[in-house]
Amino acid sequence: MADGKAFYLTTPIYYVNDAPHIGHAYTTTAGDVATRWHRQRGEDVWFLTGVDEHGTKVERAAAAGGVTPQEWVDRLVADAWLPVLGTIDAANDDFIRTTEPRHAERVQRFWEVVRDSGDVYSALYEGPYCVGCEEFKLPGDLVPGTGEFEGQQVCPIHGRPVEQLAEENWFFRLSAFSDRLLAHYEAHPEAVEPRSAYNEVMSFIRQGLQDISMSRSSVSWGIPLSWDERQVIYVWFDALLNYATAAGYGADPESADGQRFARLWPPDVNLVGKDILRFHAVYWPAMLMAAGLEPPRKVFAHGWLLVGGEKMSKSKLTGISPEQIIDTFGSDAFRYYFLRAITFGQDGSFSWEDLHARYTAELANGLGNLASRATAMVGRYRDGLLPAAHDFSPAEQEIIDALAAAVPVADAAFVALDFQGGIAAVRELVEKVNGYVTETEPWALAKDPANAGRLDVVLYTICEALRAIAVLYNPVMPKAMASLWEQLGAAADLGPIAEQRIADVAAWGQLPAGARVTKGDALFPRIDADA
């Protein structure tokens, strides 16, 4: 970035009490596509994800499993959470675990700073607590229960009764930051997106903020308070700090970690699910203000993935693992589908039928068929060598103009986290090129040697357009686009696809005449609807 700051994007750190489902993979995929796009803009990028390993849920799950909490989380991280990053092709720069010493030591240091600022005090907490959310609830947060919980107040997220707590804790003086938070968001309305999330946050702050317990005395699985080891830091006030601790908060400014923190802070984007918006857009920036740190430039709250009309949930047996989809359709189609089919920031429904239909129409029959025809025709008609092209007609100029128009639209959309809009801009270009193939009929031109020059132009135009499409789609579908890049001979002549720059992609004529074009395996093999 121009000011020397890196583009720093984070996912929430996921709670490890169970294996990941596609709701978790959705967030990480969005973060991965966004950061890959920024890398191809030539920016310095840092992409962080990780896991939250403390709190009551983990403590109880480990006890039920007959193991220590550390053994429990070590197994889950090794067997489920780290492997899923490879499954979805995430290119994260760091993976933070809240049980790591680098995190625990820096969390303690952070809260010492906040205590010294006068924003922490000791008091009795009495009230409702949802173990599923690991959240102290306000009475107004609860809703009437139904079914077996009729007559009780329940958590609206988990649909189960909350527990009543009474314990001597340390409190964070959240109420002192109402005016500062309002002023910050009024000056920076882009700091919470989408707009519905911004409105929700402003409404919550204007109702008046209450001080919140930042420690727990009845939980042992957590980071001890450095000044009161009878207590552990409340799991959220431990977990939220991962974005700072992983970046190097608290390290010697001259050390590698300290220099990285200076380069990364503040985060450009904290990606979160909408159910944890309050933590990230109210508690988190207030904590940072208390410690004298700049709040994140943007908290973006995406919607829920719905299955059968309900939020994806392991407890309700609606959790689908990423492997269940990727084993059939591949990681590229997984990444494409969830960002193409759902407006990022809104709820979206998943169905196998919709996934198959879009895969078949847009990937197998659309882009995949275009690539297959192009490479096959260069092989058949020009012995696998890309011909030189001269005398472009208005038909070719339309493709050149369409590419020039698509790039700024796609760039603006991906930078704004409008993945659906970015993909749509590239997909329209694919459709334009497919229409060009249908209109120019290169197979008919090949029948008459008198049309050799015209055939050269058509073949070159199709392949050069695919060169640009491969670069534009690379952040979304890195495996398939790397394959297409190789098939076009671009890797040998233009270098790795990941090093191609968005600003340069529309410059026409980058594929050199004589490039070796080879027909490889289908980018998107057709899949039986019953598979």
Among residues 160, 196, 157, 197, which one has the least CA distance to residue 311? Answer: 157
Q: Which residues contact 96 (CB under 8 A, 6 or more apart)?
A: 13, 48, 49, 50, 51, 103, 242, 245, 246
Catalytic residue among 24, 103, 274, 280: 24
Amino acid 438 reads T
Contact between residue 202 and residue 160 where contact means Cβ atoms under 8 Å apart:
no
Enter the tokens of residue 62.
Answer: 């480990």
CA–CA gap between residue 279 and residue 136 (Å, rounded): 11
CA–CA gap between residue 304 and residue 315 (Å, rounded): 15
- Is-catalytic flag, 463? no
Kindly report the number of other CB atoms within 10 A of residue 343's CB atom.
15
Amino acid 484 reads L
- Is-catalytic flag, 184? no
CA–CA gap between residue 371 and residue 466 (Å, rounded): 7
Catalytic residue among 5, 158, 432, 479: 158
CA–CA gap between residue 247 and residue 288 (Å, rounded): 14
CA–CA gap between residue 72 and residue 62 (Å, rounded): 6
Among residues 329, 515, 363, 335, which one has the least CA distance to residue 434? Answer: 363
Catalytic residue among 311, 432, 479, 519: 311
Catalytic residue among 38, 54, 57, 155: 155
Catalytic residue among 57, 133, 356, 463: 133
Residue 443 CA to its chain's centroid (Å)? 42
Catalytic residue among 38, 57, 103, 130: 130
Q: Which residues contact 449 (CB under 8 A, 6 or more apart)?
A: none
Catalytic residue among 5, 137, 184, 314: 314
- Is-catalytic flag, 5? no
- Is-catalytic flag, 316? no
- Is-catalytic flag, 390? no
Catalytic residue among 21, 54, 280, 298: 21
Which helix or strand (DSSP H or E) is residue 82 part of?
A: helix 82-87
224: preceding bond cis by omega (within 30 degrees): no
Kindly report the number of other CB atoms within 10 A of residue 6's CB atom.
19
Show which residues are catalytic: 21, 24, 130, 133, 155, 158, 311, 314
